[in-house]
A and B are shown apart, each in its own frame.
Chain A
């Protein structure tokens, strides 16, 4: 399933020597990496290693202390480049950040209204099309609070994809979901990426699922990049630290699964 971006494709996003601290706590030490156009890059790491902070520094929701982010070769320190990124990129929040006073239809419509491209009829067609693709057409006039967790996640993805973005950031898209729904979300990301050819950056804890759908892996540990490469290299790596990380996560997940199974019996 791993999409294979053109290895000679110019990077769509380049992060150089990014640093971020909160008081005395260094969250990002010196993070550098690049994202080839068309790739699905998964950023892995334990809780509190700065994965979400990294994403928010890239899109400008948090101001980094040092370093630079370039989008298509232009530094995002330049407001017009940041605006260009926000015009062509979308962000799926960990807690979805849906507009709770607006209907499902209005939630998906807003990014189109904001970008002011196309006519009202085109907006309507695109909203109905993406709601149909994500099986939300019947819920168009409902409010987010009336949807299940899985439907809310699909709505967040629909809102992100309705503008046909070139780059999509997914911040912990499977947080709080059960294993079946986690798989469904990763399948959905992979399928939509195949169809729409956007570049995806996915922050996640789910190593196995990430390895299946991602073309590239970035392992962040204590604010440092410990691995950057293809998912095949990551899964076959004999580096003791990488093995320990993979095994620890899987061992923990296996323990939780067996606890759940025992509880069910």
Chain B
């Protein structure tokens, strides 16, 4: 019984992964379908990116503040208070920045995307697009995938910048750390390969998050539920799968690049 269930789960997972891969392929291959590609990309950058700036700014500021505070107390125990800038900048650039920024964007823009496409599916808007001889994948998801390649690195960079500033604020303004030592440690610690790793992660997380959220919304009718409940299931799946994918990809990329 357990083996049968396991087998069924495996088959379903493999099948869903294949459908997701096909969805991504069609989205990019038919990206021009429906015309107005430039306008769609600009609108997607706004929806995915600009609307997420406030949440990214707030979360990154607090992440930096906490890192500065914790770093100050932990490093002081080892007499290494001067390493605070190194700790904050490397933590944010290599790990926390890409991961937390991606989770925040998935939470705000990803769920909105899944819900929007889910509603479009349940109200036959996607069928209407298909009957205009337009690829619904290319028209609805293609531009958003391209936009994610711009938005995720930009918002991740913003996250790191604000986070490092937050670390300076709590470590050097609220705590008795030296500002010059902090910024010179940041400058010395960050190498181009750290920035490269940060941007690679942002790109991969962007593609994963956007494609998974779009796929879940697009296929809301396959969720086993109908109507509004199907949209709810699709939205929950979108955020859960995106979060798992971000953390799993983070481990794989870190292991590959270390």
Which chain A residue shows the least CB distance to B119? A100
Using a Cβ cutoff of 8 Å, how many contacts connect chains A and B? 48
- With the chains together, A114 CA to B36 CA distance in Å? 9
* Residue B125, interface by CB 8 Å: yes
* Residue B225, interface by CB 8 Å: no
* Residue B257, interface by CB 8 Å: no
Residue from B33, B36, B125, B131 within 8 A of A99 (CB atoms) = B125
* Residue B107, interface by CB 8 Å: no
* Residue A129, interface by CB 8 Å: no
Q: Please tell me if the beta carbons of A87 and B133 are within 8 angstroms of each other in the complex.
A: yes
Q: Which B108-154 residues have C-beta < 8 A from chain A?
A: 116, 119-120, 123-125, 127-134
Q: Which A100-131 residues have C-beta < 8 A from chain B?
A: 100-101, 110-111, 113-116
A145 to chain B, nearest CB (A): 11
| Range, interface on chain A | 20 to 34
Which chain B residue shows the least CB distance to A61? B127
- With the chains together, A97 CA to B122 CA distance in Å? 9
Q: Please tell me if the beta carbons of B133 and A115 are within 8 angstroms of each other in the complex.
A: yes
B42 to chain A, nearest CB (A): 15
* Residue A12, interface by CB 8 Å: no
B50 to chain A, nearest CB (A): 17
* Residue B54, interface by CB 8 Å: no
* Residue B35, interface by CB 8 Å: yes
Q: Please tell me if the beta carbons of A116 and B132 are within 8 angstroms of each other in the complex.
A: no
Can you sample 22 A-B contacts with CB below 8 Å? A59-B131, A83-B133, A87-B133, A91-B128, A93-B127, A93-B128, A97-B123, A97-B124, A97-B127, A97-B128, A98-B125, A99-B128, A100-B125, A110-B34, A111-B132, A113-B35, A114-B33, A114-B129, A114-B132, A114-B133, A114-B134, A115-B132
List residues of A whose CB falls within 8 A of some B CB. 59, 61, 83, 86-87, 89-91, 93, 95, 97-101, 110-111, 113-116
List residues of B whose CB falls within 8 A of some A CB. 33-36, 116, 119-120, 123-125, 127-134
Inter-chain pairs besides A91-B131, A113-B35, A114-B134, 15 sampled, C-beta below 8 Å: A59-B131, A61-B130, A86-B132, A90-B131, A95-B123, A97-B125, A97-B127, A97-B128, A98-B125, A99-B120, A100-B119, A100-B123, A114-B133, A115-B132, A116-B35
